[in-house]
Amino acid sequence: MEPTINRGLDGIYIDTSQVCHIDGQRGELIYRGYDIRELANKASYEEVAYLLWHDDLPTRTQLETFRQQLRPHFAVPPEILEHFRRCPLATQPMHALRSAVSMLAAYDDNPDEVSLNNVRRIGLKLVAQFPTIAAAFERIRHGLAPVAADPELSIAGNFLYQLTGAKPTPAATRVMDVALVLHAEHGANASTFVARATASTLTDVYSAITAAVGSLKGPLHGGANTEVMKALEAIGSVDKIERYVLDILADPKGRVMGFGHRVYRVLDPRANVLREVAEKLAEESGESKWFEMSLEMERVMDREMEKRGKQVKPNVDFFSASVYRMLGFPADMYTPIFAVARISGWMAHLLEQYADNRLMRPQLVYQGPVGRRFKPIAER
C-alpha cells in the first residue's frame, strides 16, 4: 500500500496534550481550558506560565511562591554578556538569543538530567533569563550597559525596565503582560514541535530550547512580526498599501506577512485582542500611522481573499507589530519578545514530552534511484 504523505505534517496528530487547544474553525484558543481572551484581559504572564506547567491557575500563595522561585534566576552568567560585547555589530537578536540559550547549558551544574524536577528547575531559570538576555543584547549592541532586574517587578515590567533602564508605567507593563500572555502557548506549532521532537531523543532542555528558538526565528513562524513591521516601514503610508498588497498577490506564491495560518480558518482570536490594544495605544500616543496602515492592509486583504475564495485572516504577528512599534521597540526585537513569552509554552510541552516519551521518527517516501552499481572513483 502506498504510504500517505502529509507534507508539512498537515493534519497529523503526534500525541495527546493537556496544555492547549485551538479550534481553527471557530477561532478559539484555550490554555488548559481557559479562553485566551479572558486570560489576556485578566491574568498576568506569571499566572499563565504557572497555569501552563500545572493543572490550574495558581492560588495567591502558589503565585507568590512561583514569583519567589523565579527571582534568583533573573541574572545571566557574565560570560554571556561578554560574548554579546564581542558579537559583530550586525548580529541579529534572534541569533544572539539562540546562542545564549546554548551557552547557558555550560553554566548549569546539572544540564542533562531530564527528570521532571530538573526540567522544571531549568524552566524557571529560562523563563526568568529570556527577558534579561533579550534586553541585555539590545542594550549592548547600542553601546549601553545591561540593567540588572528589579526583583520587585513582574516579568513584563522587568523586561521593559531592563530594556529602557527606566521603571515602566503600569499601562506599558499591562500591554506587555497582555502580549506575553497571548504569545505564551499555541499547541504543536513549528517551534514547539521542534522542541518536543528534540527532547524525544532524551537530550537536554537547553538543546531542545536552542532548536526551538532557531525554529521560531523563521519568517513563516515567529519571524513574521519583524517582517510585518519591515513591510509597513518600507510602504510608508496608507495610500500605498493597496498597491503593495496587489503586487504581492500577483505572484501565486506571494505571501503577505502577518496573514494566514495553518490551523485557523477564521480570525486568530489573539489578533482581535491585539487589534484592540493597538487601537488604544494609537489613540493614547497620537501615533496612529502604523495602526491605520494595518487596518488598511487588513481591509485590502479581506477584499482580495474573498474574491479568490480563500480564508486568509490576520494572525497574531500582524497587530503585534504595530503594538511593539508604539511601545518603542526596534523591529528585529519583535521575535525575541515572542520567545520571551513562548518559553513558558515550550517548557510546558517539554514537561509532557519527558513525562511520557516516545522517540519521534517519521519517514520519507524515497523517490530516488535504486540498484546502482558502485564505480571506483577513477572510472567516474
Is 177 catalytic? The answer is no
Taking CB under 6 A as the criterion, the residue among 224, 232, 295, 327 binding ligand COA is 224
Rule CB under 6 A: say whether 316 interacts with ligand COA. Answer: yes
Separation CA 15–CA 132 (nearest Å): 33
Contact by Cβ (8 Å): 245, 258: no
Cell numbers 499547541: residue:
187
Residue 315 contacts ligand COA per CB under 6 A: yes
Tell me the DSSP string of 226-260. HHHHHHHHHH-SGGGHHHHHHHHHTSTT---TTB-
Candidate residues 212, 312, 331, 339; the one interacting with ligand COA per rule CB under 6 A: 312
Question: Active-site residue among 177, 204, 268, 317?
Answer: 317
Binding mask 159-188 for ligand COA (x = CB under 6 A): ------------------------------
Toward ligand COA, which CB reaches closer, 309 or 368? 309
By the rule CB under 6 A, 265 interacts with ligand COA:
no
Residues 340-369 that bind ligand COA (CB under 6 A): none
Q: Which residue is nearest to ligand COA (CB)?
A: 260
Based on the shown chain and the rule CB under 6 A, indicate whether residue 241 belongs to the binding site for ligand COA. no
Q: Which is nearer to ligand COA, 144 or 220 (CB)?
A: 220
**With the C-alpha atoms ordered 317, 271, 276, 172, is the resulting torsion angle positive or negative?**
negative
The order of strands in the sheet holding 28-31 is 20-23, 28-31, 34-35
Find the shortest distance in angstroms from Cβ 137 to ligand COA. Answer: 23
Contacts of 287 (CB under 8 A, 6+ apart): 281, 326
What is the DSSP secondary structure assignment for residue 308, as one 8-state letter?
A: T
Residue closer to ligand COA by CB (options 66, 346) is 346
Judged by CB under 6 A, the residue of 317, 322, 325, 351 near ligand COA is 317
**Residue 83 is a binding residue for ligand COA (CB under 6 A):** no
Q: Which residues have CB under 8 Å from 70's CB, separation 6+?
A: 46, 124, 127, 128, 155
Tell me, by CB under 6 A, how many residues bind ligand COA: 17
- Sorted by sequence, the CB contacts under 8 Å of residue 52 that are 6+ apart come out as 19, 20, 31, 32, 184, 185, 344, 345, 347, 348
Contact 84, 140 (CB under 8 A): yes
Nearer to ligand COA, 145 or 246 (CB): 246
| 55 Cβ neighbours under 8 A, 6+ residues apart | 18, 32
Secondary structure string (H, E, C) spanning 39-57? HHHHCCHHHHHHHHHCCCC
Query: Least CB distance from residue 104 to ligand COA, whole Å?
Result: 27
- 83 noted as active-site residue: no
Of 46 and 298, nearer to ligand COA (C-beta) is: 298
Q: Does 303 bind ligand COA (CB under 6 A)?
A: no
Comparing CB distances to ligand COA, the nearer of 73 and 262 is 262
CA distance 216 to 4: 28
User: Quick check: 12 binds ligand COA (CB under 6 A)?
Assistant: no
Question: Which residues does 299 contact at the CB level (< 8 Å), separation at least 6?
Answer: none
The residues annotated as belonging to the active site are 261, 317
> Which residues of the chain form contacts with ligand COA (CB under 6 A)?
8, 220-221, 224, 255-262, 310, 312, 315-317
